[in-house]
Amino acid sequence: MIVSHSRRIGMALVLASAVLWSTAGPFVRMAGLDVWSILGWRSLFSVVVLGGWMLLRPGAETRNLRFGLPGAILVALTVVANATYIMALSWTSVANVMTVYATLPFVATAIAFLWLGDRVTMRFIIAGLMAFGGVCAMVGASFSPADLRGIAAAAAMTLFFAAPLVVMRRYPNLDTLKMVTWAALCGMVVAVPLMPHDTLPSGQALLACALYGVVATGLGYILVLIGGRIVGAGDAGFLSMLDVVLGPLWMWVFFDETVSATTLAGGATVLGAVLWYLSGGRRRTVAPV
């Protein structure tokens, strides 16, 4: 029962992170700024909030936490993931980005298989293929040349978001909050020299960057990395695929972007695959490390 309860908590954390992460598209669109301005301002707000949280937390919470080289690697991976995600959302449609992002569970599982020896069940493979097929239906098979940069950025983002899930699985005592805070600080340092400095963004743009930094990036990353420790890299990546459905949904609700019948059918397929997988009730086995 203890294991089952822990797994439910991990699943809830990852699912909550998917909801928060899915708001990135609307916040980027709401900001209407260049890539580096969004990254810089979003990172600033993340540093203020997460840094304050890190300083105020009780010392007992950090007694068994570590950082070191694995933490530094996580920081670098997260900086690249954040930057390429903003690039992807700025250069192509949210639906296209979500199509590529849907491969995250397969990428995470492949890394975990090669590095940790994790095994996956046939149910996971079948459900993952169902979900991937549904996401492909949301976008269609053809892309214009103008989308290629965004798709390439989305592919890089997926790789650099999947890798931290596996790193946290291998090193479960890493200080997640410190990692996210340092990643935001490093992202700001990288972005500031590349930002335009002639005028300040509007109030709406700053609000969008603040919401993106605190809600979508900060809390979203913390929840998925903590939950990923419990449920495993592949399962965490799979559950995060709900973002694939929610991202285009928010764009339709808040920006009136038309959702076609194909998009609705694809979204229903993804959601159905996730629910079918969760109804199995068995976690995949993990080979000894």
Domain count, the chain: 1
Q: What is the mean pLDDT of the chain?
A: 82
pLDDT at 151 over 50: yes
Q: What are phi and psi of 68, to 5 degrees?
A: 60, -155
Residue 285 binned pLDDT confidence (cut-offs 50, 70, 90): very low
Residue 82: closest CA among 228, 227, 219, 217: 217
Q: Answer yes or no: is 287 within a domain.
A: no
213, 115, 93: which is closest to 162 by C-alpha? 115
Among 17-21, 106-110, 162-166, where is mean pLDDT lowest? Answer: 106-110
Which residue segment(s) compose the domain that 79 sits in? 2-278
Q: Considering the domain boundaries, does residue 48 fall inside one? A: yes
Give the residue with greater pLDDT, 227 vs 1. 227
- Cβ burial, residue 258 (10 Å; 0-12/13-18/19+): exposed
8 A C-beta contact, residue 135 and residue 266: yes
At 50 the pLDDT is: 83
CB 101 within 8 A of CB 243: yes
Residue 288 lies in a domain: no
286 inside domain: no
Residue 285 in domain: no
Range of lowest pLDDT (194-203, 262-271, 273-282): 273-282
Lowest mean pLDDT among 7-11, 54-58, 118-122, 255-259: 255-259
| Cβ atoms of 31 and 210 closer than 8 Å | no
Contacts of 125 (CB under 8 A, 6+ apart): none
Q: What is the pLDDT of residue 227?
A: 84
Tell me the C-alpha distance between 29 and 106, whole Å: 28
Supply the pLDDT for residue 289.
Answer: 29
Amino acid at 53: W
Does residue 149 sit within a domain? yes
Mean pLDDT of 41-51: 90
Q: What is the DSSP letter of 198?
A: S
Place of tokens 């650099």: 160
User: Does pLDDT of 115 surpass 60?
Assistant: yes
Measured distance CA(280)–CA(29) in Å, rounded: 38
With a cut of 50, say whether residue 282 has pLDDT above it: no
Q: Which tokens hold the place of 210?
A: 């603040």
User: How far from 41 is each of 55, 88, 115, 200, 202, CA to CA, in Å?
Assistant: 21, 18, 35, 11, 12
pLDDT tens-digit profile of 60-98? 667 778 888 989 999 999 999 999 999 999 988 888 788
> Is the per-residue pLDDT at 287 higher than 60?
no
